[in-house]
């Protein structure tokens, strides 16, 4: 009898004894002593944007030598921040693997702390983060405008701002399906929405269709099939049902590229998606995964010839960190950038980065050749925008 794969492989996995689980938290690097990169100060801001209510956490670390670095993660509560401070204080800013293990249960803070450490070390070494990470592999990074608004009319202000900010690729959220709408009608609604957004942006605009994990696998497969000739760059998070069978239903129904990963914080989950061939572009959230962690995910994806475009719906410090990451990863396609509809939100974001705007030219952001993140964080702006300072 001819053996059929993958069934025998599954048998292999279950039949064979596994080595003990790898837990890097079992090891703690030695105390940093008087090292200039020893973290001696930890401060955090819980930031909220005034109009959109978009929330994120900014951490500032100061090393013994006096250098400060900033990192951003997703929303976090005060008790998590306090616990992260305990873990981080007196470690060396180079100990990203220790932090990745120690803060793995609070991914927003793993991202914020590890990215702040990276900023500290890069500033200490007088080089941009992308150079510390082995780049640049490109001299400019593609921007993907994450528009606000559910309808074309609602999205128009955000789209206009994105175009003014030099973006040429955008995400648009697929309409949600009401249970009373027949499937064909729903598909028609999504197709019309997509066509309307294309018309709004003009012929130069390229689009990612964002399913936001809201469709059933069956609906997502039908939408992918119907829209594949419209050639979205990819269909993002088509369903929230990330089982191999559910995803297989989508990827086997059409040639539409599938983006997945914004809610995933476990590298093993990315490995599973990649190994099963269920994903064409991985989308770890910058608010939930540090640059150090995403580089590991990228290493996985590279062997599958799968691209990476980190999801981002946080603040401007996160955007800039993502652009450094993009400049250091060979298969990075684009960095998603939230584009506020509100002028107040946009102004606040620019103030935090001391005037450096999340903007590009002809769709790309020109890399900054300055140490660390490449700009000074305006702490007064953070104070003004924060719900709480910790």
Partner 1 sequence: MRRRELLTTLAAGAGALAAAPGGRRANPTPLADCGCSLQIRSAKDKPPGEAAFRDVTSKLRITNMRVFGVTLDERIAQADRPYVFVKIETNEGVTGWGEATLEGKASAAMACVMDLKDLIIGCDPMQVEHLYQVMYIGSFYRGGPVLGSAISGIDQALWDIRGKVMNMPVYELLGGPVDPRGVRGYYHADVWTLEAARELRDKTKAAGVTALKFQLPDLLECVETNAKIKRAVGHMEMLREGLGPDIDFAVDFHARPTPSVASIILREIEPLHLMFAEEICPPENVRAMARAVRHSTTPIATGERLIASYGYAELIDMGVVDVLQPDIAHVGGVTALWKVSATAEASGIRMAPHACEGPIGGIASLHVDAAGPNFLAQEICGFVQADQKNRVWEDLLGFPAMRMVDGRYPLPTRPGLGVDISETALKKYPFQGTRPFVMAFHEDGAVASL
Stretch that binds partner 1, among 52-60, 179-187, 195-203, 361-369 (CB under 8 A): 361-369
* Helix%, strand%, coil% for the chain, nearest 5: 40, 20, 40
Q: Which is nearer to partner 1, 216 or 271 (CB)?
A: 271
Name the segment binding partner 1 (CB under 8 A); options: 83-91, 132-140, 217-225, 246-254: 132-140
Q: By CB under 8 A, is residue 128 in contact with partner 1?
A: yes
Q: Does 13 bind partner 1 (CB under 8 A)?
A: yes
Answer yes or no whether residue 240 interacts with partner 1 by CB under 8 A. no
Q: Which is nearer to partner 1, 162 or 327 (CB)?
A: 327
* Interface with partner 1 in residues 247-276 (CB under 8 A): 267-268, 270-271, 274-275
Distance of CA 53 to the CA centre of its chain: 19
Part of the chain binding partner 1 (CB under 8 A), chosen from 3-11, 54-62, 225-233, 310-318: 3-11
- Number of residues forming the site for partner 1 (CB under 8 A): 61
Pattern 30-69, partner 1, x by CB under 8 A: x---------------------------------------
The one among 51, 89, 127, 189 contacting partner 1 by CB under 8 A? 127
The answer to whether residue 4 forms part of the interface with partner 1 (CB under 8 A) is: no
Decide if 117 contacts 39 (C-beta within 8 A). yes
Cα separation, 209 vs 174, whole angstroms: 6
Q: Which is nearer to partner 1, 16 or 229 (CB)?
A: 16
User: Could you give the angle at the alpha carbon of 44 between the alpha carbons of 269 and 320, nearest 5°?
Assistant: 60
Q: Rounded to an integer, what distance in angstroms lies between the CA atom of residue 154 and that of residue 147?
A: 10
Cα–Cα distance for residue pair 341/148, rounded to 1 Å: 6
Which residue, 116 or 187, has its beta carbon nearer to partner 1?
Answer: 116
Q: Which is nearer to partner 1, 14 or 179 (CB)?
A: 14
Q: Which of 45, 56, 70, 132 binds partner 1 (CB under 8 A)?
A: 132
- The closest alpha carbon to 265, from 284, 238, 245, belongs to 284
Contact status, residue 13 vs residue 349, Cβ threshold 8 Å? no
Structure tokens, 372: 């660390």
d(CA 384, CA 386): 6
3-class SS at 282? Answer: strand
Show the DSSP H helices in the chain as ranges: 7-15, 78-88, 96-102, 107-124, 129-132, 152-164, 183-201, 217-227, 244-251, 267-275, 291-303, 316-326, 343-352, 379-385
Binding track over 293-332 against partner 1, x by CB under 8 A = --xx--xx-xxx----------------------xxxx--
**Site residues (CB under 8 A) for partner 1?**
3, 5-6, 8-9, 11-13, 15-19, 21-24, 27, 29-30, 92, 94-98, 100-101, 125, 127-128, 130-137, 139, 267-268, 270-271, 274-275, 292, 295-296, 299-300, 302-304, 327-330, 367-369
């Amino acid at each position: 009898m001819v053996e059929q794969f993958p069934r025998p492989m599954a048998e292999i996995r279950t039949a064979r004894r596994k080595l003990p689980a790898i837990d890097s938290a079992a090891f703690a690097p030695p105390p940093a002593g008087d090292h200039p990169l020893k973290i001696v100060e930890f401060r955090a801001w819980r930031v909220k944007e005034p109009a959109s209510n978009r929330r994120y956490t900014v951490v500032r670390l100061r090393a013994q030598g006096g250098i400060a670095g900033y990192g951003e993660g997703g929303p976090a509560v005060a008790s998590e921040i306090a616990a992260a401070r305990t873990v981080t204080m007196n470690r060396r800013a180079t100990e990203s693997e220790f932090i990745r293990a120690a803060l793995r249960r609070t991914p927003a803070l793993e991202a914020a702390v590890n990215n702040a450490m990276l900023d500290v070390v890069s500033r200490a070494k007088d080089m941009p983060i992308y150079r510390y990470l082995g780049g640049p592999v490109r001299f400019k990074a593609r921007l993907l405008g994450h528009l606000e608004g559910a309808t074309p009319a609602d999205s128009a202000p955000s789209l206009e701002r994105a175009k003014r900010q030099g973006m040429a690729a955008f995400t648009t959220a697929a309409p949600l399906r009401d249970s009373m709408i027949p499937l064909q009608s729903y598909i028609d609604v999504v197709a019309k929405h997509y066509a309307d957004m294309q018309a709004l942006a003009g012929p130069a605009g390229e689009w990612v269709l964002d399913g936001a994990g809201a469709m059933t696998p069956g609906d997502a497969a039908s939408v992918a099939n119907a829209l594949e000739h419209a050639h979205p760059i990819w269909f993002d998070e088509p369903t929230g049902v990330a089982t191999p069978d559910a995803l297989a239903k989508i990827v086997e129904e059409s040639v539409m590229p599938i983006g997945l990963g914004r809610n995933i914080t476990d590298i093993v989950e990315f490995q599973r998606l990649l190994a099963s061939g269920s994903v064409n572009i991985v989308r770890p959230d910058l608010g939930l995964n540090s640059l150090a962690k995403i580089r590991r995910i990228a290493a996985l994806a590279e062997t599958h010839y799968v691209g990476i475009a980190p999801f981002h719906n946080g603040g401007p410090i996160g955007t800039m960190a993502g652009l450094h990451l993009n400049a250091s990863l060979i298969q990075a396609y684009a960095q998603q950038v939230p584009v506020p509809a509100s002028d107040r939100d946009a102004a606040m974001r620019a103030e935090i980065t001391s005037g450096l705007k999340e903007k590009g030219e002809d769709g790309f952001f020109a890399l900054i050749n300055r140490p660390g993140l490449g700009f000074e964080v305006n702490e007064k702006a953070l104070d003004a925008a924060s719900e709480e300072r910790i």
